[in-house]
Chains A and B, each alone.
Chain A
Amino acid sequence: MSLWRQVRYGLRGMMRGDAADNDAADEVRQYFEDTVAAWKERGLSDDDARRAARRELGNLTALREQVRSFGWENAVRAFTSDLRYAARQLRHDLGFAVVSILTLALGIGAGTAIFSAVNPILFQPLPYPHANRILAIWNTYHGTRSELAFGTYRELAQRSRSFDAMATFEPWQPAFTGTAHGERLEGQSVSAAFFRVLGVAPVLGRDFRDSEDVFNGPRVVIISDGLWRSRFHGDPAILGRPVKLDGDNFTIVGVMPSRFEDVLAPDAEIWTLAQYDGRRITSDMSGWAWGNHLRIVGRVRPGVTAGAATGELESIAGTPWPQFPRPRWAALRHGLIVDSLQHDIAQTVRPALLAVLLAVLLVLAIACVNVVNLVLARSERRRGEFAVRGALGASRLRIVRQVITENLLLAILGGALGLGLAFAGVRALVALSPPRLPRLDAIAVNAAAFGFALGITAAIGLLTGLIPAMHVSRPELQGTLQQTSRRTAGHPSVIRRALVVTEVALALVLLVGAGLLLHSMRRLLAVQPGFDPSHLLTLEVQTSGHQFDNLPASPGGGDANRRRFYREALEAVRHVPGVEEAAFTSALPLSDDPSWQILYGARFEDEDPQGGHNVIRYAVSPGYCKTMRIPIVSGRCIDERDTESAPPAALLSASFARRQFPAQDPIGKRLHVGPDDRPWYVVVGVVGDVRQTSLALSAPDAVYLSTEQTWFADETLSFVVRTHGEAASLAPVVRSAIWSVDKDQPIVRVATMDALLDVTQAQRSFVLILFEAFGLAALSLAAVGIYGVLAGDVAERTREIGVRAALGASRGSIMRLVLGDGLRLTGLGMLIGICGALCAGRAMATLLYGISYLDWIAWLGVVALLSMVAVIACWIPAWRAACVDPSIALRAE
C-alpha cells in the first residue's frame, strides 16, 4: 500500500515536474505570508514583519529546494539532468568522446572475444563429472605422444589398481550402405568402459556391457542425440532397432544425452565396441590387437591422486611381467606419457592460444593506458570549469558525481559497442579457427570475461576521472582560478608522459610478435612441398562391403576385388574430360592421415634383423610421380611393369637414399617393408623428398611401392587428379565417375591440394591474423596516445611558444622542440619495449618456423614502423606549434 503510494506519488511528481515545482513554491510562499501576518498581528510594521519572517525562515529558495527535493523521483531527476549535461559535454568534446569510446570498445571487445574462445579450451573444466580425474595415456615415440596397442591396454588395465575404469578408443567411420550413395558416419570404436570413464551414461537405453566387448560379440551401437534426431526422427522406440553399417546389422542399444560432448572426437555421432580378440594375445603378436593404433583414457579412483596413478602406470611400463609378454614395438621401453585429459586435448594448440591470450592482454593494457591518458588530459583541461563550479557553490560531492556520470556514460557506450564487437569477434574466431581446435561448440561469449574487461577499463577511467575533481577544495579555488587564466610555462604531466612511454613499450612487444610471425609465415610459404600443388584435386575413397573380405575359402579374394575396384575407378577418372592425369596413393601428402596408418618398419638386406627404420609407405598406382610432379632423381618411377607377378619394386625418397647409401648407388638394393616373410623389394628409383604432414615439418623417410605388389590391399586410397582448369570445379564429375564403377563406395573427403595446404598452415595463419589485428590496434592506440599528449602540451604551452617566437625562435627550432620531445618519449618507450619483447619473443619461439626470435628483419621492420608512426603523430602538433602567431598567443588570455 505504502510502496504503491510511493511509486504513484513519485511518478506523479515526475510527470508534472513544473507543476510540482509551483506547488512547492506556493506552499513556501504561503508559509512566509502567514508568518509575516503573524508578526503584524503582534504589532510590527509591514517591513519589520517581513524582515522577522525572513530571519525565521532563512533563504526561501533553499527552503523551496529542500521541500522539493523530497522523494526518490528527485534523485532520478538529478541523475538524468547529470546525464543530459554529460551527454552535452561529450558532444561538445566529440573527438575525445569518439576516441575513448572506440578505445574502450576495442579493449573490451577483443579481450572478451579472445578470452571467451580460449576459456573452454584451456581453463574451463571438461563437461564431465570430476573431469580432473580423467587421464589420457599415450605411448612414447621419439619423446612425443603416439598410439598404443590393445595388448598394452590389456596389461595396464589388469595390472593397475588406481583406476575406476580405463577404456580404449579409435576412430571408426562406418559406411551407411543401401542409401543412394555410400555415406560415411563419423564415430568411434571403443571398449566397454568408455562412457564410464567420461562419466556420462546414455539418456535412452543403456551403456555398453563388459560381457559384450568380446571377440565376435553382439554388434551393438550407441548413437548421439543429433544422429537420433536427424536420421531416426527422434523415434523413442529406436532401441533394439537394427542399422546396416559396412554391410553388417548392428543393434542400437542407447542414445546419448543432447548435451553430451565427446571432446575426444567432437564429430563422433556413433559408437561401437572394438571387440578385440584377447584369447591369443600372448601367443600371436602379429595380429591387429598388437598394432599401435589405440588411445587410452582412464578415470582415477577417488582418493588416489593423478600423480600416484601416473607413477603406478610408469612402474608397470618399466617392469614387464612374464605373464604379459610384449612385442618389440610395444615394449614401452621409453615409458608412457600420462596427462590430464583437459591438458591433453589442448596440447597442440596451447602455445598458440597462450600467445593470442597474451597479445589480447597487451591490447587491453594499452586500451586502459589510453583511456587513463585521455581522461587525465581532459580533466586537466577542465580544472578551470571545476573551479568555477566550486566557486558558484557546487559541493565537491556534486562535482564528483558529475564526473562519475560522465565517465559512466563513456563506459556504458564503450561497453555496449565492445559487447557487439565481442559477439562478432567470437563468431569470426570460430570461423577462422584452425581445424581440430578442441571444444569448438563450447565457445560462446563469456559473461565473466565481458564483466572483467568492462570492469577494469571502466573502473580505471572512473578513478582517474576523480583525481582532478577531488582537487577542487575551497582553499585552493582561488589559486586554480588564477592559474587557469594565466597558464604559463607548463609542467607537462609526468604521469601522462609515463603513460605514453608505457603505451609505446606495450605496442612494441605486440608488434615484434606480429612481425616475427609474419616473417616466419613468409618463410613457410616459400617452402616447396616436393610436388606441384596447383590444379590438383584429391578424393579419399574407402572400400566398404563384404565383397572385400578375405574369406578362408578364397584367400586374397577380397584384396583382388579391392584392387580391381580401384583400378577400374582410376580408369573411369582418367576418361573424365578436363582431367590431365590421375593416380592414387595410400598416403596423401599434407592430409591429416594419422602416422600409425602410414608408418611402417623397413629393413635393408644388410641390416640387423632387430633394427630398421620407420618409413612412410606410399602404395601408389602407375603414374603417381607424374601426376604429382615429384621429380625423379635417378632410376624410374612405379609404372605398368610393376604388376602382381613382376619382381617387387620400390622407390626411396632422396634424403633417405642419400643417408642410407652415401657412397653407393641405391638402385638394385633390396629391402623389406612391413613383414619380413615376403620377397625382397628391389630399389628401382629415387624420387625427390615430399613433405607429408605439413610444410613446417621436414620430409620424413619414404618408400614407394606399387599397390599391386604390397602384402595387403589398402582399404582407403586417395585419388590425385591433375586438371586442366580449376581443380574444384571437376569434383562432381570425378565423383560420379568413381561411383559409376560402384555406387556404394563412400568418398570420404574431396579437397583441392591448395585447400589442404591452407589447412596445414591454419593454426599459424590463425595466430598471425590475430597478432596482425592486435598489432595494428596497438599501433593506432599508441599513435593516438603520443598525439594526444603532445597536442595537449602544445595547447597548454601556446603562450610559452608565443614568447619564444616573439624572442626570435625560428619555426624550425620550435618544431624541433616539440618533435624532439615526442620522439624522446617514443624512444624511451621503444627501449623498454625491446626488453619486454626479448622475453615475450623467447616464449613465442615454438610458434616460429625457420627464423629465430631474434630475427633482425622482423625487429628492424617493427622499430622502423613504430618510429614512422610516432614521427607522424608528433609532426601534427609540432607543426601546429610552429604556426603559433606570437601576437595572438600573447594577447589570447
Chain B
Amino acid sequence: MNDANTDVIQGTLDMLILKTLSPGPLHGFGIARRVEQISRGVFKVNPGSLLTALQRLERAGWLDAEWRQTENARRAKFYRLTRSGRRQLEIETADWNRRASAIARLLRQEG
C-alpha cells in the first residue's frame, strides 16, 4: 500500500459501501479491501468509521447481516444489500452524479 492514499471523501462512505456490496455479500475487511482496490489505492477506509457505518446502514434497513464461515474457516459477519439498500444506492448515485458533473462544469469554466 502506498502512502499517497487518502481517507474516503466525507459523506460518500455510505454510497461506497452500498456500491461495493452490489455484486454480492462481503465482510467488513472485504469491503475495505474492495474499496481500496477499485479506487486503485486512492481511498483508504478507516476501520472504525467502516464498522460504525455498517451498523448504521444495517439499522437503516439497507443492509442485512449474517454470521458465516469464511474461506479460512473463521466466523465473520457478512453484509448483503437489501432491496431498499439497492434503491438507496440508486438515489445516492444519481445524487452524486448530479453534484459531480456540476463541479466538473464549474471547474471547466474556471479553466
Contacts and interface: CB of A to CB of B under 8 A. Distances in A.
A35 B50 CA distance: 14
A696 to B, nearest CB: 75
Contacts of B58: 9
A1 interface: yes
B48 A71 contact: no
A67 interface: yes
A249 interface: no
Contact of A30 (B33, B59, B61, B74): B74
Residue among B28, B47, B58, B74 with the most chain A CB within 10 A? B47
A71 B55 CA distance: 8
Contacts, number: 62
B108 interface: no
B51 interface: yes
Mostly, the B contact residues are helix
Please classify how large the interface on chain B is, using the bins under 10, 10 to 19, 20 to 34, 35 or more: 20 to 34
B52 interface: yes
Given A31-B47, A31-B51, A70 B76 contact: no
Contact of A71 (B33, B59, B72): B59
Interface in A22-40: 23, 26-28, 30-31, 33-35, 37-38
B48 A2 contact: no
Contacts of A1: 61, 84
B27 A30 contact: yes
Given A1-B61, A35-B29, A30 B75 contact: yes
Contacts of B60: 2, 5
Interface in B64-84: 67, 70, 72, 74-77, 84
Interface stretch (A56-64, A135-143, A588-596, A754-762): A56-64
Given A30-B28, A58-B48, A67 B74 contact: no
Contacts of A34: 27-30
A35 B75 CA distance: 15
Interface of B: 27-30, 32-33, 47-48, 51-52, 55-56, 58-61, 67, 70, 72, 74-77, 84
Interface-centre pick from B29, B72, B75 (highest chain A CB count, 10 A) = B29
Nearest to A2: B61
A568 to B, nearest CB: 93
A66 interface: yes
Determine which residue in A27, A37, A57, A63 has the highest number of CB atoms from chain B within 10 A of its CB, and name it: A27
A788 B75 CA distance: 60
Contact of B59 (A9, A23, A27): A9
Contacts of A35: 29, 47
Nearest to B77: A27
Interface in A613-641: none
Interface string A51-77: 000001110000100110011000000
A315 interface: no
Q: Lowest 3 A-B CB distances belong to which pairs?
A: A34-B29, A70-B55, A67-B51
A33 B73 CA distance: 12
A23 B76 CA distance: 9
A26 B75 CA distance: 8
A26 B27 CA distance: 12
A1 B76 CA distance: 27
A31 B29 contact: yes
A30 B52 contact: no
Contacts of A58: 47-48
Contacts of B76: 27, 30
A70 to B, nearest CB: 4
Contacts of A38: 29, 33
